[in-house]
Amino acid sequence: MTEGPSQPQPLGVERTPTGNDRVDAVLARLADAGHLDASGHLEVYEDVHAGLRDALGALDRHPGPSGPTRPYDNRS
């Protein structure tokens, strides 16, 4: 009878860089899942999901002044 590995084994899945340093750093966290028992995967996946959500949300935030730069004239 052949026994399976006694320790978690990395999956060996290659990640292609996205070109976005922030996203690449978040995705690098996925490598941690390969070294954990299945019970630890959820925490890694939740961290990665939150990081990707934050990176995506940052796309909606525009640099520059917040609010109008001049008062609106509401007269008709």
Question: Quick check: 24 pLDDT over 70?
Answer: yes
Of 7-11, 27-31, 45-49, 57-61, the poorest mean pLDDT is in: 7-11
Is there a contact between 46 and 71 (Cβ–Cβ < 8 Å)?
Answer: no
Mean pLDDT across the chain, nearest whole number?
A: 81
The encoded tokens of residue 68 equal 């109008």
DSSP structure class, residue 38: G
Phi, psi of 49 (to 5 degrees): -60, -45
Buried b (16+ CB within 10 A) or exposed e, 54-72: ebeeeeeeeeeeeeeeeee
Residue 55 has pLDDT above 70, yes or no: yes
CA distance 34 to 43: 13
